[in-house]
Amino acid sequence: MRSTHISSFLALVSLSTAVPTSWTTKDPLPLVIWHGLGDNYLADGIQEVGELAEQVNPGTFVYNVRLANDAGSDRSATFFGNVTTQLAQVCNDLATHPILSTAPAINALGFSQGGQFLRGYIERCNSPPVRSLVTFGSQHNGIVKFQDCGASDWLCKGAMALLQTNAWSSFVQSRLVPAQYYREVNETTGLASDSYLEFSNFLADINNERELKNETYKKNLASLEKFVMFVFEDDTTVIPKETGWFAEVNATSGKVTPLKHRPIYKQDWLGLKKLDHKGALVFKTIPGPHMQLDDKVLKQAFKKYFSPATKKAIFQEVLGDWEL
């Protein structure tokens, strides 16, 4: 993909000229992108993804989620921060954005942890509402192991060292981002641990795993036109990789329990069963390690799931993927 640096201000000015003042079914919906751990909203790769989205669906306004206006602070916020507070900030940013707030809906693209955070946005806020959500290598059912860091990435090393101390302490759960989607399972019963259910700051809530269910979460997620989950075949960063499909993996035996065999689906805690029954829940695999994406995969996703509603798109929904 092409490499470029674009400031948020210049991007807003240049793209706003192409955004319609009154929306029609022929206009592409705005695309909101949330990057992953250790990345930032101004990174070359994220900018290039936005350019590709506009190339596939001309006129697309792209907004990259940011928790700070400078790249360094935005990257730090992927490691350190309270996800509940961060998500509330993003909800406000999108709801008050001069372009996004005028659209009838938006599309959403989440990379790694950005995927479950966008799902959290849909469940908790959804204003503007999301039409289709596509996630790549996300940790929808949490992680059972924290990732390795690069030799010189001291920010990552510091975060991971703190995570190893006590993942369920209030200090860690309110400050360390990956700890807030860490999920502990009793390997004997196969059920989520009591500590996780009681102390998880983020994941236990948005997965509706606690006894008292939030019906708004279920209603909002079930309203999606498409929920597409890509898993990388050779992913060794996200453990287990099957979390990208809400699957449960026994760490001792390695046995995988697919989503459809789990209570979260059978009892439809989140509306995933409803989405599946209307053909809106899509499971995809792509070759390679975590977040190693090529243009072809992205183009196909943008064309199939983010294009305006046309006869061709409707026919293709029945026929399957096309080559670009």
Non-local (6+) Cβ contacts of 314 within 8 A are none
Domain assignment of residue 167, yes or no: no
> How many whole angstroms separate alpha carbon 276 and alpha carbon 28?
25
Q: Which of 15, 1, 79 is nearest to 43 (CA)?
A: 1
Domain assignment of residue 47, yes or no: yes
Q: Is 112 a catalytic residue?
A: yes
Each residue's pLDDT expressed in tens, for the chain with a length of 324 residues = 433 333 344 444 444 445 665 667 788 999 999 999 999 999 999 999 999 999 999 999 999 999 999 999 999 999 999 999 999 999 999 999 999 999 999 999 999 999 999 999 999 999 999 999 999 999 999 998 776 666 566 677 766 666 666 889 999 999 999 999 999 887 767 788 899 999 999 999 999 999 999 999 999 999 999 999 999 999 998 989 999 999 998 877 888 999 999 999 999 999 999 999 999 999 999 999 999 998 999 999 999 999 996 434 433 444 444 433
CATH number of the domain to which 88 belongs:
3.40.50.1820
Count of alpha carbons within 13 Å of 184, Cβ hemisphere only? 13
Per-residue model confidence (pLDDT) at position 173: 95
> How many whole angstroms separate alpha carbon 225 and alpha carbon 231?
20
Domain assignment of residue 179, yes or no: no
Exactly one of 35, 97, 140, 290 is catalytic; name it. 290
Q: 258-267, long-range: CB within 8 Å, 24+ apart, which pairs?
A: 264/207, 264/208, 264/209
Which burial class, exposed, middle or buried, applies to 14 when counting CB atoms under 10 A from its CB (0-12, 13-18, 19+)?
exposed
Domain assignment of residue 85, yes or no: yes
Residue 246 Ramachandran class (φ > 0 left, ψ -120 to 50 alpha, else beta): left
Q: Is 235 a catalytic residue?
A: yes
What letter would DSSP give residue 2? -
Per-residue model confidence (pLDDT) at position 166: 80
Domain with 207 in it:
8-148+203-319
Token pair in block for residue 127: 């204003």
Task: Please give the distance of CA 30 from its chain centroid, rounded to a whole number.
Answer: 16
Per-residue model confidence (pLDDT) at position 324: 34
Exactly one of 74, 235, 268, 307 is catalytic; name it. 235
Q: Is 290 a catalytic residue?
A: yes
> How many whole angstroms separate alpha carbon 34 and alpha carbon 32?
7
> How many whole angstroms separate alpha carbon 35 and alpha carbon 19?
23
Exactly one of 74, 97, 112, 268 is catalytic; name it. 112
Token pair in block for residue 100: 């996004």
Peptide bond into 128 cis (omega under 30): yes
> How many whole angstroms separate alpha carbon 298 and alpha carbon 130?
19
Per-residue model confidence (pLDDT) at position 212: 96
> How many whole angstroms separate alpha carbon 168 and alpha carbon 104?
40
Domain assignment of residue 184, yes or no: no
**Count: domains in the chain:** 1
> How many whole angstroms separate alpha carbon 170 and alpha carbon 197?
13
The pTM of the full predicted model, rounded to 2 decimals, is 0.87
Domain assignment of residue 23, yes or no: yes
Query: Which stretch of DSSP H or E encloses residue 282?
Result: strand 281-286
Domain assignment of residue 112, yes or no: yes
Per-residue model confidence (pLDDT) at position 9: 42
Per-residue model confidence (pLDDT) at position 191: 80
Domain assignment of residue 154, yes or no: no
Per-residue model confidence (pLDDT) at position 136: 98
